[in-house]
């Protein structure tokens, strides 16, 4: 039986690794659809950002209530993974509570259980309970209180379902751990073979034990084993699910904050090919022969015109909607939602990523309308508030460049403004010769 379990377990682990490997390859190659961009320098500041923004969740704390609940789930998630490590060792080696055995052998106690292991397990149980409570509150916030941030045109069926699935999934996984511990403790009390003494695990003892203590050994073992298998297969399934979900931020938050923009946010990237062209026109630079590199396209029409970091942004987004909740355009009822822009980039990138030729008839404009693109005030509030260093404005401005330079389809007012700058050197229809008129009456001795 043990051997069969071990083989099954090893098989499941290998299968999960294979699927995960393929998913990771898909995501990285999809991110690489973006244009090359060298992001480096100031390594110290970048690591500080990873530490503070990703690991320390600094930006989350601008909204303390959500931050606290999120922190519970986050800490729970990270630390409970230590227990998953024990699960994996147990599963591969066909043991039960490997760490408990090791610790007890290493430091035998009269009580019959290792105090350190007991404290550790109790700690996990408290976190488990914390995660369950936080997930329930999050579900209430989404589905009962219907907090505005979680709604919007982009929050269609899948994104809403995705968010709820994750929360429900976590509640079920955590319940499995507590149930398993409860059954385990009754088995310990009954002296069942292989169930090493863990000492009292308070939460499961209080909640689960009263529910299962009247069952017989066989039933208890079935419950305990079922929960164990359910939890570990659940965790692996969840790991695969995450790669299809908004929940990918648990991984991507780290590289994305590392590669986050360090320049002041209102700095637009310089289009060197245009600059060099203009320099030649103005006679500031000799025309370089042989370097006549054909400019593929001005601005952004598709995700392949974006930089890879923009696509990484899209895979990092967890659709929390903080960006949209501070967007002045969205707040006043315009169609623009920065979250939608980023979700559209991910949708489009995944379509192209799946296509073999990496080329089809489509473009980002199938997902994003001009009305959205033209509504942005570039106030950068969305960039500032994003807890994982995503930049929606870069995408919007890239699309504007395509519309202005490739299509010449900017709003009529803007075309007029372009005209004014070209002829009057000011954005308004004013005579260039009047530029210094403002000073006339201030300089009585002039003229």
DSSP-derived 3-state class of residue 54: helix
Q: By the 8 A CB rule, do 345 and 308 touch?
A: no
**Segment 283 to 302, residues that bind another protein, using CB under 8 A:** 284, 298-299
CA torsion sign for 112, 115, 116, 121 is positive
- CB nearer to another protein: give 1 or 263: 263
Residues numbered 106-165 forming contacts with another protein, rule: CB under 8 A: none
The tokens describing 172, both together, are: 């079920």
> Candidates 85-93, 107-115, 139-147, 435-443 — which segment interacts with another protein by CB under 8 A?
435-443
3-state SS, residue 265: coil
Stretch that binds another protein, among 46-54, 79-87, 263-271, 314-322 (CB under 8 A): 263-271
* Binding residue (CB under 8 A) for another protein from 329, 345, 349, 364: 329
Q: Which residue has the tokens 């949209």?
A: 324
Q: Where are the alpha helices (DSSP H) in 57-200?
A: 64-93, 98-106, 115-143, 157-189
Residue in 268, 295, 355, 366 binding another protein, rule: CB under 8 A: 268
377 binds another protein (CB under 8 A): yes
Q: Helices 308-316 and 392-402 meet at what angle, rounded to 10?
A: 130
Assess 65 for contact with another protein (CB under 8 A). no
Task: Figure out which of the listed residues 127, 132, 235, 381 binds another protein, where binding follows CB under 8 A.
Answer: 381
Segment 203-262, which members bind another protein (CB under 8 A)?
A: none
What is the rounded radius of gyration, in angstroms, for the C-alpha atoms of the chain? 29
Q: Does 328 bind another protein (CB under 8 A)?
A: yes
Q: Smallest distance from the beta carbon of 184 to another protein, in angstroms?
A: 49
Q: Which is nearer to another protein, 112 or 431 (CB)?
A: 431
Token pair in block for residue 90: 């147990």
User: Which tokens belong to 3?
Assistant: 């051997």
Task: Locate 269 and state its tokens.
Answer: 């990237």
Per-residue binding letters, 354-373, with another protein (x by CB under 8 A): -----------------x--
Q: Is 281 exposed, middle or buried (0-12, 13-18, 19+ CB in 10 A)?
A: exposed
> Which of 64, 218, 264, 290 is the binder for another protein (CB under 8 A)?
264
Interface residues for another protein in 407-426 (CB under 8 A)?
A: 410-411, 413-414, 416-418, 421-422, 425-426
User: How many residues bind another protein, per CB under 8 A?
Assistant: 71
Report the site for another protein in 158-197 (rule: CB under 8 A): none
* Residue-wise DSSP of 430-446: --GGGTTGGGGGG-TT-
- Classify 307 as helix, strand or coil: strand
Decide if residue 40 touches another protein (CB under 8 A): no
């Amino acid at each position: 039986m043990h051997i069969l379990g071990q083989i099954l377990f090893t098989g499941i682990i290998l299968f999960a690794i294979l699927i995960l490997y393929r998913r990771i390859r898909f995501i990285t190659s999809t991110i690489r659809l973006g244009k090359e961009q060298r992001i480096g320098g100031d390594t110290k500041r970048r690591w500080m950002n990873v530490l503070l923004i990703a690991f320390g969740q600094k930006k989350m704390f601008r909204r303390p209530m959500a931050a606290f609940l999120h922190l519970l789930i986050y800490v729970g998630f990270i630390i409970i993974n230590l227990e998953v490590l024990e699960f994996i060792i147990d599963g591969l080696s066909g043991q039960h509570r490997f760490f408990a055995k090791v610790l007890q052998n290493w430091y035998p106690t009269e009580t019959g259980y290792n105090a350190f292991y007991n404290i550790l397990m109790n700690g996990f149980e408290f976190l488990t309970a914390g995660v369950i409570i936080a997930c329930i509150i999050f579900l209430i916030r989404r589905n009962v209180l219907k907090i505005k941030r979680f709604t919007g045109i982009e929050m269609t069926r899948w994104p809403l379902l995705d968010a709820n699935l994750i929360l429900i999934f976590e509640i079920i996984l955590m319940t499995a751990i507590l149930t398993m511990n409860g059954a385990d403790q009754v088995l310990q009390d009954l002296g069942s073979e292989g169930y090493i003494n863990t000492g009292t695990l308070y939460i499961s003892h209080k909640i689960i034990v009263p529910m299962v203590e009247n069952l017989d050994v066989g039933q208890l073992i079935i419950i305990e084993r079922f929960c164990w298998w359910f939890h570990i297969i659940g965790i692996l399934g969840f790991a695969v699910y995450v790669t299809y979900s908004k929940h990918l931020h648990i991984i991507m938050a780290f590289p994305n904050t590392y590669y986050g923009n360090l320049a002041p946010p209102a700095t637009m990237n310089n289009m060197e090919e245009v600059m060099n062209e203009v320099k030649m026109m103005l006679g500031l630079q000799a025309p370089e022969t042989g370097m006549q590199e054909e400019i593929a396209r001005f601005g952004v029409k598709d995700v392949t015109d974006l930089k890879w970091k923009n696509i990484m942004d899209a895979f990092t987004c967890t659709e929390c909607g903080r960006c949209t909740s501070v967007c002045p355009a969205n707040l006043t009822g315009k169609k623009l939602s920065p979250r939608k822009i980023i979700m559209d980039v991910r949708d489009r990138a995944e379509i192209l990523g799946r296509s073999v030729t990496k080329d089809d008839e489509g473009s980002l404009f199938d997902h994003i309308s001009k009305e959205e693109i033209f509504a942005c005030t570039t106030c950068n509030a969305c960039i500032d508030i994003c807890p994982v260093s995503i930049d929606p404005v870069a995408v919007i401005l890239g699309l504007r460049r395509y519309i202005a330079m490739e299509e010449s389809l900017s709003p009529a007012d803007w075309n007029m403004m372009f005209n004014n700058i070209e002829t009057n050197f000011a954005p308004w229809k004013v005579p260039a010769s009047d530029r210094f008129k403002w000073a006339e009456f201030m300089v009585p001795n002039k003229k």
